Structure 1
Amino acid sequence: MSDAGVIHDIGYQRYEGPRLGRAAVFGAIYQHGLRAAFGLGRSAKAKIFPWLVAGIVLLVAVINAAVKAQANVILFDYFSFDDTMSWLVIFFVAIVAPELVSRDMRSGVLPLYFSRPLRAFDYIGAKFAALATAVFLLLGVPQLIMFLGGAFTTKKGASGVWNEFLDLLPGWGYSVLWALLFASISLLVASITGKRAFAAGGIVAVFLMTAPVVGVLSILPSTTAQHLAGLASPMSLLTGVQSWLRGKNDLGLDIGEFGVIYGIEFFCLVAACLLLLLARYRKVASL
């Protein structure tokens, strides 16, 4: 038997196609994340919860549109619809956010991701954009149904449709605020652990455990403390931002003259969550 080695030509060829780069990777992660948020391309079990939540939210919107058309009674306007659906949004992000980031951590694929032309900023940006889009669709599509119901049943003709549309746009804007805040907080909490059950419980705890703090602060004798109480919880923070932007103090939260503070905290909270996420994944990428 000869000890000489033999080189076999098994047909390997160099890739000669286009190099798509970081933008294409970002788009692929975003698309995969958005599909995963609603269980698309996965088993039937993965679709149950997100589509159950989406179905309930859509049903509420249909009922609201039907009641408005038949009895001319508005159960929810576009703003109060988001506030009413807050608990469902919490459970939605508690299930979806761990699916987007905790699974990658648990399976150990992050070093493989970052070995390619992909930066931590791209990864975080794509995941954040995917979850924020999912939350906006969860709220924005039912609002569109409410608009269509109001537009087709209005008795004021084109002017009534236009007025309904002008009501829808700020409602969509409010839904964007919900999407940005809930996506940033839930992804940050989910990035702490690779165990999805722990991540989901942590997300629910962050949103629910801060609510009693608002109640305690709102009964303090200090008027300033009462006006700033809403800063202690993400949900009341959004209500405070709405009160400030709409100039209304009849939304169950009196913010006094501190509306600007609510707006600043909203921006800083979203930015802080994203910066902490970036620091978290830059550390992973450097390993």
Structure 2
Amino acid sequence: MPTLETRTSAPDGVIHDIGYQRYAGPRLGRRHVVGALYGHALRTAFGLGRSAKAKIFPWLIVGIVVVVATVLTAVRAQFGQVIMTYAQFADSMSWLVIFFVAVIGPELVSRDIRSGVLPLHFSRPLRRGDYALAKLGAMFTAVWLLLGGPQLLMFLGAAFTTGNGLRGVWDEFLDLLPGLAYAGIWAAVFASVGLLVASLTGKRAFAAGGIVAVFLMTTPVAGVLSVLPSRTVNELAGLVSPSSLVQGVGGWLFHGQLITAGREGGLSTGHFGPVYGAVAMVLVVACTLLLLLRYRKVASS
């Protein structure tokens, strides 16, 4: 049995220097963390840096809208006929936008909730609101690129085939700007609503189904209200559905861009155009605030 002197003189342990060095670089801070999270989320929306399976659905939708824009550009170049304006292109692609949001929304937020990595995010100089706004910004950008990218393709085709030189290119550019702005309205409404719904569950299938249900189940309600005998009800019917709400805002702000060959497009809002604009703004702000409140609850639970 060892004596007391033997036990006290024996070393308790040895510290080995295996070459690790302390980080001596710059501390970038919160702003760069938010920027990195936004960039990563935007890449995730299109499946970049992920498996081939994650790229199938978003790039299938991207491929469809690009093909449609290419066909429209080719027809205009060959026959000189504008089948669809830039703003009408955004309207016609609205169904694909719904499925695009349903695909990328769960990928951006539901996976993090289910895998329990939010405490790791918030252990860095990143506020809960920063996380939500970075994800929302990435989703807005992804939807805007989905609609705005093909519009740029259409513009390039029209600019190279115009017969009026620089004046024709400038006029075409002025036609493009309302289309890009209209795409931004689609992106703001769809991203805010879609991401809020996706943040309510960690199961991607439930999140995707919830997003599709919110957009598609409200559309028939607007259709029923639009055929009622009351003209006022008809003109306000679009307020009950996010899709028709955006179309109402487009009809109010970009009425000229939603007319082709004497046929009026968009939703008839009568004198209620400003109401549509106000409701759309309130919807985006309300969904953003609810998203921030949701992540305060998720992070503290």
Q: TM-score range by the shorter chain?
A: over 0.9
After alignment, is 250-259 or 70-79 more displaced?
A: 250-259
The percentage of aligned residue pairs carrying the same residue is 64
Q: Output the aligned Cα RMSD.
A: 1.5
Helix, strand or coil at the partner of 2:202: coil
One-letter amino acid matched to 2:209: G
Structure 1: give runs of 5+ residues left out of the alignment.
Answer: none
Contact 2:251 2:266 in 1 (8 A): no
Helix, strand or coil at the partner of 1:76: coil
Aligned to 2:283: 269
Aligned to 2:13: 6
Measure the CA separation in 1 of the matches of 2:73 and 2:266.
24
Aligned to 2:250: 242
Aligned to 1:213: 221
After alignment, is 247-256 or 215-224 more displaced?
A: 247-256
Q: CA deviation at 1:16?
A: 2.5
Cα deviation, 1:7-66, whole Å, max 9, x if unaligned, reads 413445433321111101101110100111111101111111111111110010010000
Measure the CA separation in 2 of the matches of 1:200 and 1:210.
16
Contact 2:178 2:254 in 1 (8 A): no
Residue among 208, 226, 230 paired with 1:222: 230
Aligned to 1:280: 294
Measure the CA separation in 1 of the matches of 2:144 and 2:12.
61
* Residue correspondence of structure 1 range 41-52 to structure 2 within 5 A: 41-52=49-60
Measure the CA separation in 2 of the matches of 1:215 and 1:183.
23
Aligned to 1:40: 48
Contact 1:189 1:203 in 2 (8 A): yes
Q: CA deviation at 1:246?
A: 2.8
Structure 2: give runs of 5+ residues left out of the alignment.
Answer: 259-263
Measure the CA separation in 2 of the matches of 1:199 and 1:157.
50
* Residue correspondence of structure 1 range 1-287 to structure 2 within 5 A: 4-11=11-18, 12-247=20-255, 250-287=264-301
Q: CA deviation at 1:206?
A: 0.6
Measure the CA separation in 1 of the matches of 2:14 and 2:181.
64
Cα deviation, 1:166-214, whole Å, max 9, x if unaligned, reads 0001110111111111111110000011000110011011110000111
One-letter amino acid matched to 1:275: L
After superposition, the Cα gap between the structure-2 partners of 1:15 and 1:252, relative to the gap in structure 1 and judged at 3 Å, is closer
TM-score, normalised via structure 2 length: 0.92
Measure the CA separation in 1 of the matches of 2:197 and 2:245.
18
Measure the CA separation in 2 of the matches of 1:254 and 1:100.
35
Measure the CA separation in 2 of the matches of 1:172 and 1:130.
17
Helix, strand or coil at the partner of 1:210: helix
Contact 1:239 1:251 in 2 (8 A): no
Matched residue count: 287
Q: CA deviation at 1:247?
A: 4.4
One-letter amino acid matched to 1:246: F
Q: CA deviation at 1:217?
A: 1.0
TM-score, normalised via structure 1 length: 0.96
After alignment, is 242-251 or 64-73 more displaced?
A: 242-251
Helix, strand or coil at the partner of 2:132: helix
Contact 1:190 1:203 in 2 (8 A): yes
